[in-house]
Amino acid sequence: MSALLPERFADLEPFAAKWCLPTEHERYGMRLASTTEEMQAFYDAVVPRAEEAMAHLEGLAFDALPEDATNLLHLLYSMVQVSFPVEVWRQPRVPDSGSSSFDCLVEPVP
C-alpha cells in the first residue's frame, strides 16, 4: 500500500484513508459518522503538525500540488472540520440543532 501523505508526515498516515476527503460534504459526513474519541485522536495527532504542514504546502505551487500534498491539504481541512466539535461541543453534531443541515455551495480549491 502506497503512502497518501508526504514522507515527512508519515506519522499522520493512520488517519489519511479516513480523513483525506476532497469535499466539504464528505468531511462533514465523516465528522458526523465519527465518535468523539475518534475525532479527538485525529485532532490530537494533526494539530501539533498543522503549522509544519501549512509551511510545507506554502512551499509548493498551489495550482499544481502533487497528490500527496493535496491529500495533506484535505487532511488539514478535516482537522478544521472537527476542531469546534472537539474543542467546544465534545460531540460530532452541533448542539440543539435537531435535524437541521447545511449545504456547501462553494468549496476551497483544490
85 vs 31, residue with greater confidence:
31
**Residue 1, pLDDT score:** 64
Checking if the pLDDT of 96 tops 70, the result is: no
* 8, 13, 16, 17: CA torsion to nearest 10: 140
- Render pLDDT for 42-69 as a digit per residue (tens, 0 to 9): 999 999 999 999 999 999 998 999 999 9
Checking if the pLDDT of 78 tops 70, the result is: yes
Model-level pTM? 0.84
- Indicate the residue type of 82: V
**Residue 2, pLDDT score:** 87
Residue-wise burial string across 3-32, b where 16 or more C-beta atoms lie within 10 A, e elsewhere: ebbbeebeebbebbeebbbeebeebbebbe
**Residue 39, pLDDT score:** 94
Checking if the pLDDT of 88 tops 70, the result is: yes
Determine how many CB atoms are found less than 10 A away from the CB of residue 93.
13
